Amino acid sequence: MEIIGTIKDMHDLSRALMSQDKTIGFVPTMGALHDGHLSLVRRSKAENDATVVSIFVNPTQFGPNEDFLRYPREVEKDVDKLSAQGVDTIFIPVEREMYPEGFSASINIGKIGEILCGASRPGHFNGVAAVVAKLFNIVMPDRAYFGQKDFQQTVIINKLVKDLNFSVDIVVCPTIRESDGLAMSSRNSYLNSGERKAAVILFKALKLGEELIVSDGIVNAVLIKEEMRKLIHSEPLAAIDYVEIVTANLKEVEKIKLPVAICLAVKIGKTRLIDNLIIDPNNADICSL
Amino acid sequence: MEIIGTIKDMHDLSRALMSQDKTIGFVPTMGALHDGHLSLVRRSKAENDATVVSIFVNPTQFGPNEDFLRYPREVEKDVDKLSAQGVDTIFIPVEREMYPEGFSASINIGKIGEILCGASRPGHFNGVAAVVAKLFNIVMPDRAYFGQKDFQQTVIINKLVKDLNFSVDIVVCPTIRESDGLAMSSRNSYLNSGERKAAVILFKALKLGEELIVSDGIVNAVLIKEEMRKLIHSEPLAAIDYVEIVTANLKEVEKIKLPVAICLAVKIGKTRLIDNLIIDPNNADICSL
């Protein structure tokens, strides 16, 4: 396993792999790896000749009052976990090389970046789009792996790839959950034990939404969201950012027509968590949405 | 020589060339080719195993009141000229594949896209950046060739490549001129014979600026620009858009310290023309600026 720190070294390695006709799988991460990340790594290893994992806490996707500085950083542990998975290459770029003085380019992906999480995190998805574009140009992967937990992000990255003609297949993998249903997230480490128990309300609300749609056959999205909101309000530590039901293109749904995605963002104490469920009678895999 | 019309075919061809370890030189054009374009083609052929020339009049870099619809289109003549140069591949994408319904991505390169030509053509360089990013991702060249005539464009594309880590070497080639000094441009075809004679005022003004700097040793940029403006005003058909003296990073210069670029945009009748001269005691080649 090789750890690479400079853009040039990473690029040269990818060039070498390409000239050997080896396929490259890429898992971009912000580190603080959990089983969700590792499931992406395993999928990449199964589908490609070489797997590159990047660890970079990207400053441009954090707002001025967000958690950039306290975002968990545990590179040594991460390296151990990736080593145990048999990852070929870990790319750990430094901020001053990724964003040198005078850096000024930005990518705007349009309205889908301004709704849902984009509404409460203005500029967030522009930052995501730019760093993903940079990483794709540096690593030049055949396939890149993202978790369905960040559903809006996966839609935006698919749009980035399509609109700017990147030659990367985007593979979206199922959300990995704790035993009580909480979606794995590096930000779960912010939760104290009371908050951790309360955080299950996100998954419970999603399951309620699913039940109302699938079992009860309710098609009025407003009604479903209202029931979900009520349930979340029953948890004293929870404060709703949004509860939405959308299409694969993130269009708000009024009358349920499957497939749809139920998406929510909820603050538990000071920690903002997101989660989603895809309701698709034919396939639970978001890729088919 | 092969003419390719779809993104997929172009991409597949480039992939095949790369897996054969062949270098790709790329000359993106809007067609209506003149000797300036052909000089880029010759340079590309001399430096690469394969040369791809694209012809695409990119709608997103034209403003609503600009000349997109009447921009000269003469694809058959262009193909003949490129064939005579021994070009390997001509890529002629269609608008509906480049910008399908729902296309929404945009690239903003920052302040350097909002000055000079960007001030009178708002959004122009965002359109340039996006189409160049798309073409780079489709063609995947090792080197891409641009004319110095579009000086600001070359600065912006270099910034795009640097900020987003495209692995393309940008090669800027000298401006090719008519015998009286007029820079070759597809838009020269808009000029009637009186306007054509008047258009030499751009080059004359640049040469005056050069003389004031190099021979007379004047360092006051305001003074130099004022003399250039006076000369241009002496031509009744000419109307100044801008006359500026800037650094390699497009910063306005007050006190001349070489190297600098003298840049101007002037309307001759209804036709807006641009030109520039690099004043560099060590090297007339913009690449060294």
Could you tell me if A149 and A41 lie in one domain? Answer: yes
Between positions 116 and 175 of B, the ones with CB within 8 A of A are 129-130, 133-134, 137-138, 140, 159-160, 163-167
DSSP 3-state of B141: coil
How far, in Å, are A114, B229, B265 from residue B72 at the CA level? 38, 30, 20
* CB-based contact B110 A105, cutoff 8 Å: yes
Instruction: Show residues of chain B in contact with A140, CB under 8 Å.
Output: 167
Q: In this predicted structure, what is the pLDDT of residue A283? A: 67
- Which residue type, as a one-letter code, is found at position B239? A
* CB-based contact A134 B165, cutoff 8 Å: yes
Q: pLDDT tier at A284 (50, 70, 90 boundaries)?
A: low
Q: What is the mean pLDDT of chain A?
A: 96
* CB-based contact A137 B110, cutoff 8 Å: no
* CB-based contact B165 A103, cutoff 8 Å: no
Whether A249 and A113 have beta carbons less than 8 Å apart is answered as no
Could you tell me if A29 and A110 lie in one domain? Answer: yes
Could you tell me if A77 and A142 lie in one domain? Answer: yes
A7 touches chain B (CB under 8 A): yes
Identify the domain containing residue B26 by its residue range: 2-173
Residues A119, A123, A124, A126: is their CA dihedral positive or negative?
positive
Residue B57 lies in a domain: yes
How far from chain centre, in Å, is Cα A106? 20
Domain boundary among B173, B208, B242: B173
Q: Bridge-partner residues for A25, per DSSP?
A: A51, A143
DSSP characters over B52-88:
EEEE---GGGS-TTSSTTTS---HHHHHHHHHHTT-S
The residue of chain A with its CA nearest to that of B15 is A18
Long-range contacts, stretch B15-20, CB < 8 angstroms, 24+ apart = B15/A167, B15/B140, B17/B49, B17/B50, B18/A18, B18/A19, B18/B140, B19/A18, B19/A19, B19/A21
Contacts of B89 (CB under 8 A, 6+ apart): B1, B2, B3, B4, B10, B13, B50, B51, B52, B53
10 Å Cβ neighbour count for A64? Answer: 6
Domain boundary among B124, B150, B173: B173
How far is the C-alpha of B52 from the C-alpha of B139, rounded, in Å? 8
Could you tell me if A194 and A121 lie in one domain? Answer: no
How far is the C-alpha of A141 from the C-alpha of A143, rounded, in Å? 5
Contacts of A203 (CB under 8 A, 6+ apart): A177, A180, A181, A182, A183, A275
* CB-based contact B104 A11, cutoff 8 Å: no
Between positions 240 and 269 of B, the ones with CB within 8 A of A are 249
Residue A23 lies in a domain: yes
How far from chain centre, in Å, is Cα B165? 21
- Which residue type, as a one-letter code, is found at position A173? C
How far is the C-alpha of B258 from the C-alpha of B219, rounded, in Å? 10
Residue A178 lies in a domain: no
Mutation choice for B interface testing from A19, A164, A169, A250 by most B CBs within 10 A: A164
Q: Which residue among A34, A37, A124, A233 is the active-site one?
A: A37
Percent of chain A residues topping a pLDDT of 90:
96
Whether B15 and B50 have beta carbons less than 8 Å apart is answered as no
Could you tell me if A46 and A124 lie in one domain? Answer: yes
Judged against a pLDDT cut of 50, whether residue A250 lies above it is answered with yes
DSSP characters over B115-126:
STHHHHSTTHHH
Return per-residue pLDDT of chain B as tens, 289 residues: 999 999 999 999 999 998 889 999 999 999 999 999 999 999 999 999 999 999 999 999 999 999 999 999 999 999 999 999 999 999 999 999 999 999 999 999 999 999 999 999 999 999 999 999 999 999 999 999 999 999 999 999 999 999 999 999 999 999 999 999 999 999 999 999 999 999 999 999 999 999 999 999 999 999 999 999 999 999 999 999 999 999 999 999 999 999 999 999 999 999 999 999 999 988 654 443 3
Residue A29 lies in a domain: yes
Residues A4, A8, A14, A15: is their CA dihedral positive or negative?
negative
Residue keyed to tokens 């603050």: A267
Could you tell me if A241 and A154 lie in one domain? Answer: no
Whether A268 and A191 have beta carbons less than 8 Å apart is answered as yes
DSSP 3-state of A117: helix
Nearest Cα neighbor of A191 from A268, A266, A264, A265 is A268
> Is A34 among the catalytic positions?
no
Q: In this predicted structure, what is the pLDDT of residue A261? A: 98
Mutation choice for B interface testing from A91, A137, A156, A166 by most B CBs within 10 A: A137
Residues A160-184, mean pLDDT to the nearest whole number: 98
Domain boundary among A145, A173, A201: A173
Whether B200 and B182 have beta carbons less than 8 Å apart is answered as yes
Mutation choice for A interface testing from B165, B166, B247 by most A CBs within 10 A: B165
Residue keyed to tokens 């970079």: A56
Between positions 75 and 114 of B, the ones with CB within 8 A of A are 102-112
CA distance A184 to chain B (A): 30
pLDDT in tens, A260-271: 999 999 999 999
Residue B13 lies in a domain: yes
Q: In this predicted structure, what is the pLDDT of residue A54? A: 98
pLDDT in tens, A178-189: 999 999 999 999
Could you tell me if A157 and A195 lie in one domain? Answer: no
Could you tell me if B14 and B133 lie in one domain? Answer: yes
Could you tell me if A208 and A230 lie in one domain? Answer: yes
How far is the C-alpha of A238 from the C-alpha of A201, rounded, in Å? 8
CATH of the domain at A262: 3.30.1300.10
Phi, psi of B265 (to 5 degrees): -135, 130
DSSP 3-state of B207: helix
Could you tell me if B43 and B152 lie in one domain? Answer: yes
* CB-based contact B103 A19, cutoff 8 Å: no
Residue A117 lies in a domain: yes
Number of domains in chain A: 2
Q: Which two tokens stand for residue B101?
A: 């319904």
Residue A180 lies in a domain: no
Whether B118 and B72 have beta carbons less than 8 Å apart is answered as no
Of A19, A106, A140, the CB nearest to B21: A19
Judged against a pLDDT cut of 60, whether residue A286 lies above it is answered with no
Residue B169 lies in a domain: yes
pTM: 0.95
CA distance B163 to chain A (A): 6
* CB-based contact A18 B18, cutoff 8 Å: yes
Residues A82-105, mean pLDDT to the nearest whole number: 97
CATH of the domain at A51: 3.40.50.620
Judged against a pLDDT cut of 70, whether residue A165 lies above it is answered with yes
Q: Which two tokens stand for residue B211?
A: 């003389």
Q: In this predicted structure, what is the pLDDT of residue A222? A: 98
Could you tell me if A160 and A227 lie in one domain? Answer: no
Could you tell me if B94 and B28 lie in one domain? Answer: yes
How far is the C-alpha of A208 from the C-alpha of A204, rounded, in Å? 6
